[in-house]
Structure 1
Amino acid sequence: MPMHPVARTLDARGGVATRAELRRWYSAREIRLAVEDGHIMRDGRGHYALATADDGLRAARRLRAVMMGRSAAAFHGWRLKTQPSRPEIAVPRGRKVAPAERERCLISWRALTPSDLAAPHVTNPVRTVIDCATRLPFDEALAIADSALRNGNVTRDQLLAAATQVKRAGRQPALRVARHADPRAENPFESVVRAVSLDVPGLALRPQVPISSADRTIHPDLVDGALGIVVEADSYEYHTSRQQIDIDCHRYTELGLDGWLVLRVSHQQAMRRQTWLRSAFERAVQYRRTTPFQAAQPL
């Protein structure tokens, strides 16, 4: 069955959104009906969300276990690149889990201590980020870590300290996520684009760097100031109004006139065409090696 339009918008935004954000595209009645029909949920923090956290919490209570990974991240209110298809649950080592529950949930056997928990049925923010960093692809884990920092639930120092305690193969992935996590990333879309760029030698994109143009200060999504490369993560939702198109045309024109190489990336390209996107970034770096950046305006 196709996803409900309001739920699809929430999914593209990482699974959570405020009422004001949803009202950009939907009427109050459409949002209310989506809640009443069970497509989305209203939580106590003034946000709307997919059912990820609720599904995880019900499974954790049913199994006398703990939400972990993406289920825990959703519970903490963070934005995810992808929602888990099944609740991600940790149970004590040695506990038997019925086959039916193993079909319904993604079970991990873990030796968790009280210090690993934020509440009886969910891992704490630091443990949640580290679990995601050691279990998920880098781009997914980075999006979660960025969101955790953006929401003020963790600090980079806490993540780095926890990552150094990870044993064996998981340590390097955890350290990589902790080192590159950045609260300035506005959403998972932007985090995923930056994750792809980190595999491109010579490219160092930073989120939301201010650039002075002829008549205003522009804050592109991602900027490499040394190479003069700007990357804009163009979400369909934000680029359909007449006013937004006018704003976009102005900023891209000013950036181009000031000598910046502007690359525009769609949500589909970031999520499903990463090989091509990495190639585009590599070609942009190569272009700048032969055509050096000369800024028309000071940074």
Structure 2
Amino acid sequence: MPDVVDLLADLGGVARRSVLLGVVDRAELDAAVSAGTVGRAGRGLYVLPTVDDATRVAAQLGGVLSHTSAALHHGWGVKVVPDRPHVMVGRGRKVGRRGRLAHVHYAELQAHETSGAATSEETTLRDCLRSLPFDEALCVADSALRETGCAQLLRRVAETVRGPGSPQVRRVAAVATGLAANPFESVLRAICLDVPGLSVRPQVTIGDGDFRARADLVDPRLRIVCEADSFAWHGSRSALASDARRYNRMVVGGWIVLRFTWEDVMFHPMEVRRVLERAVALAEVLVEVRRPGPSAA
């Protein structure tokens, strides 16, 4: 069975109790909370301790959590949990040596741009989508849609944003989806989006006859399946056996099944892209083979 902390890290630093209990048992989760290796951030919401400590640091600096730290505060998963919290303080404020406790940003925020200890959801979305790399920004947008269903808010952010980074904000908003299961899957989809000819959709049910399976990312035209395979989700023999049977049924059903590890997606995206490009080339050949030829006269 996977460690609760490792599982929480794979899920972007924050996760709901129901999701965690789908992988670990209740006693292990409660023990982690008691030991302080996992914190609570609201009803049924669990976070890594570094996330829990961020609010205290922001208060010490006289600011509010911002960027990915604010995203985590709102219950949204991120690709990378920051080593130090992101804190927004007023322009001209001197933080001194305490500034080393955080990644300090400066801005004059209006009252509606903050919410408690963090920037508001709208401000957080705008800042993350504008300043983060595309894959990290997509993680935040997907998580926000999944957890809070803020499609209208995201649309408003995209329509009103101006200045540097605004093209990326609009691009992320256009492809974000609440169907993405977790940041791992969001990062894999971000890589897929840059592969010519590949058009994947998240969490699609495929199958035929008596077989049905939900796949992480699916290109229906090319019949390519991309699975985000984390060790945390295959920590038992029964889980491994179940997935092996599922993958085999997909393959004999005519699908190209690609399995990507968390480490490769997060740290070796170019290798993942090369594999995807070769899979697209292979799939295009198979599409031509399957296409019916001209009828005989």
TM-score under structure 1 normalisation?
0.89
The residue matched to 1:220 in structure 2 has which SS? strand
Larger relative CO (CA 8 A, sep 6+): 1 or 2? 2
| Partner Cα distance (1:213, 1:206) in 2 | 19
Please, which of 14, 32, 35 is the counterpart of residue 37 of structure 1?
35
Letter in 1 for 2:105: S
Name stretches of at least 5 consecutive residues in structure 1 with no aligned partner: none
Q: 2:266 aligns with which of 259, 271, 284?
A: 271
1:47-62 pair list within 5 angstroms: 47-62=45-60
> Is the partner of 1:169 in helix, strand or coil?
coil
User: In 1, are the aligned partners of 2:125 and 2:157 still within 8 Å (CA)?
Assistant: no
Q: Which moved more, 1:85-94 or 1:182-191?
A: 85-94
Residue among 65, 84, 87 paired with 2:85: 87
Match of 1:6 among 1, 4, 9: 4
Give CA-to-partner distance per residue, 1:125-176, whole Å, 9 cap, x none: 2221221112211111111110100012521x42233133333221012112
Alpha carbons 1:164, 1:171 under 8 Å: kept: no
1:103 aligns with 2:100: yes
Residue deviations 1:101-136, cap 9 Å, x none? 2211111111211221223x2112222122111221
8 Å Cα contact 1:70-1:83 kept in structure 2? yes
SS of aligned partner of 1:44? coil
> Residues 247-276 of structure 1: CA distance to partner in whole angstroms, max 9, x if unpaired?
222322222122111111111111111010
Deviates more, 1:210-219 or 1:133-142: 210-219
Which residue in 1 is equivalent to 2:295?
A: none
Q: Select 1:77's aligned residue among 75, 78, 81.
A: 75
Instruction: Report the residue type matching 1:169 in the other structure.
Output: P
Of 198-207 and 212-221, the range deviating more from structure 2: 212-221
Amino acid at match of 2:35: D
* 1:196-226 deviation digits (Å, cap 9, x = unpaired): 1111111111101121323132210000111
**Within 2, Cα distance between the matches of 1:207 and 1:163?**
22
Q: State the partner residue of 2:115.
A: 118
Structure 2 residue aligned with 1:152: 148
Give the distance between the partners of 1:105 and 1:181, measured in 2 at CA.
29
CA contact (8 A) 2:200 2:218 kept: yes
Contact 2:179–2:202 under 8 Å retained in 1 = yes
- Residue identity opposite 1:280 in structure 2: V
Give yes or no for contact 2:130–2:165 (8 Å, CA) kept in 1: yes
**Residues 24 and 188 from structure 1, CA distance in 2 versus in 1: closer, same or farther, beyond 3 angstroms?**
same
Paired AA for residue 232 in structure 2: E
Measured against aligned partners, the alpha-carbon deviations of 1:61-82 in whole angstroms (never above 9, x if no partner) come to 2222111111111111111211
1:284 and 2:291 are equivalent in the alignment: no
Shift of 1:49: 1.2
Alignment match, 1:222: 217
Matched length: 289
One of 126, 130, 133 as aligned partner of 2:129: 133
Compared with structure 1, are the counterparts of its residues 239 and 36 closer, same or farther at alpha carbon in structure 2 (3 Å cutoff)? Answer: closer
CA distance in structure 1 between the aligned counterparts of 2:50 and 2:146, rounded to whole angstroms: 20
Separation in 2 of the partners of 1:37 and 1:248? 33
* C-alpha spacing 1:224/1:265, structure 2 compared with 1 (3 Å): same
SS, match of residue 222 in structure 1: strand
**Conserved? CA contact 2:207–2:253, under 8 Å:** no
Shift of 1:237: 2.0
Which letter maps to 1:77?
A: G
Amino acid paired to 2:133? P
Q: In angstroms, what is the RMSD of aligned CA positions?
A: 2.2
Equivalent residue of 2:238, what SS?
A: helix
Q: Distance in 2 between matches of 1:219 and 1:204?
A: 17
**TM-score relative to the length of structure 2:** 0.89
